[in-house]
Amino acid sequence: MRNLDRIELLKGYCVEEPQNPFNYYALALEYRESEKVEAAYLFDFVVANFPNYLPVFFPAAQFFFENEDLPKAKNLFEAGIELAHALQDEKAKKELSNAYQNFLFETDSD
């Protein structure tokens, strides 16, 4: 399936199931390379409207880091780690913590 076909399919899913965060998240992932403004909007939308949707935090933080929005990336890593802790998801917490430490190292942050 071509990228454009997946995008159209996911847009339809967003309309059909507006309360399913996965649809918006998957659409953001499809847009990461080609439509950065739309991807940023969708990542923000998922975080704002589905704040307990843990899978969005790592790719969103990574996306904003790669697009040089370091404060937003930092906030997303920290919020994701906090959510993983609250949800007692140790695997996600460890993955987010490791990625966050790499982020801090690469950006000379502390």
- CATH number of the domain where residue 13 is located: 1.25.40.10
pLDDT digits (tens, 9 = 90+) for 12-44: 999 999 999 999 999 999 999 889 999 999 999
How many distinct structural domains can be found in the chain?
Answer: 1
Nearest to 61 by CA among 34, 89, 95: 95
Owning domain of residue 91: 3-106
Its pTM stands at 0.92
Tell me if 37 sits within 8 A of 74, measured CB to CB.
Answer: no
Q: Specify the range with the lowest mean pLDDT, choosing from 61-65, 68-72, 76-80, 105-109.
A: 105-109
